[in-house]
Chains A and B, each alone.
Chain A
């Protein structure tokens, strides 16, 4: 190499020796810059992403802490308003209770289950005959909107004989399976909107069904001679 340089003119040799540091620096600038800047850009994007996740989680934590009392009560009412299984029996119980409270006699109750709609709702269609005085019958029909599970009056067909009404009524109630998957921990969650709060308030005001739990006999109380022989 030295021999090769010795063979070159003096001006060229000096130019090379003076220019080498500059070339080396330029090469270092390019290589270090390319590697280092890409690393820095990468870490900045990681910081940005982590900061976003941090703010989402902080907002989510704050919301979950503040809303928990409202939600725990609301979730029970909501699950009762639209249950996850066929509510026919519960609706029939509610209709009978409502009829009794309004002095209306309910008979010929029939129930059938419908197909799942596009919105994921299954419907239970219940038809029955209701007999009573007109005003009481109207109060009974209006009261259907206030029972849980949510029930809609589909059709009303009334006949009046000697001051008493007989009505063939068709109602529909709905059910839908509960959500099966949870979003990831990092996904944001929003507070209830004003309209959602209003719906929640309506749901909380629905008349809940009252069930009586029958007590089963204890094992020691089992009749050893059930046929009395």
Chain B
């Protein structure tokens, strides 16, 4: 029957528990070294691959930059165009009297030849109109046309006079929508 002999001097021997702990410690050391080597190698490979990838992208960026620079004239034109479009959009918001003229135009074209405009003032917000209308039928249709229309925010008949020789004289003030 084999017998385990401990030939070490008694001062060099260690307890059984410590011995197993040391074994574990050594094993952990070996595993740690292996893990570190794998980690360092992986990190290195990843770094190299990333650097190659970055160089490739940078080369492509440089190529694209030169291509974009070659089309600088088109870029200048698009910037100018966008700037002018923004300016025009800003101009469009400025007060304009033409919508007032467009709004009042149908009312004036319906008048007969006997009627005449004394004075008309169109501003971006309001219209004042002074007219001479000869016949009762004309004045009636003129006023009715305003009643049936919704192009103005409000219409005020500021003056209404009748003279047998000149007919009706009306003054209208309208606020544009």
Contacts and interface: CB of A to CB of B under 8 A. Distances in A.
Interface of A: 10-11, 14-15, 18-22, 25-26, 28-29, 32-33, 36-37, 39-40, 43-44, 46-47, 50-51, 53-54, 57-58, 60-61, 64-65, 67-68, 71-72, 74-75, 78-79, 81-82, 119-121, 134-135, 138, 141-142, 144-145, 150, 152-160, 163, 165, 172, 174, 176, 178-179, 182-183, 185-186, 189, 192, 195-196, 199-200, 202-203
Interface of B: 11-15, 18, 21-22, 25-26, 28-30, 32-33, 35-36, 39-40, 43-44, 46-47, 50-51, 53-54, 57-58, 60-61, 64-65, 67-69, 71-72, 74-85, 87-91, 94-98, 100-102, 105, 108-109, 116-124
Contacts of B11: 10
B106 to A, nearest CB: 11
B18 A14 contact: yes
B84 A61 contact: no
Given A29-B39, A44-B50, A158-B117, A185 B25 contact: no
Given A64-B68, A153-B98, 15 more contacts: A18-B29, A22-B25, A25-B32, A25-B35, A29-B36, A40-B50, A57-B61, A61-B67, A61-B71, A134-B108, A150-B91, A155-B121, A176-B83, A182-B72, A185-B65
Nearest to A174: B91
Contacts, number: 222
25 contacts: A15-B25, A18-B26, A19-B29, A22-B29, A32-B43, A33-B39, A36-B40, A36-B47, A40-B50, A54-B60, A54-B64, A71-B74, A82-B84, A82-B87, A82-B88, A121-B90, A134-B117, A138-B105, A141-B101, A150-B91, A152-B96, A153-B98, A172-B94, A178-B83, A196-B85
**Chain B interface secondary structure, helix, strand, loop or mixed?**
helix
**Chain A interface secondary structure, helix, strand, loop or mixed?**
helix
B87 A153 contact: no
B84 A54 contact: no
A152 B91 contact: yes
A50 B88 CA distance: 37
Contact of B101 (A32, A79, A156, A178): A156
Given A10-B11, A54-B57, A32 B40 contact: yes
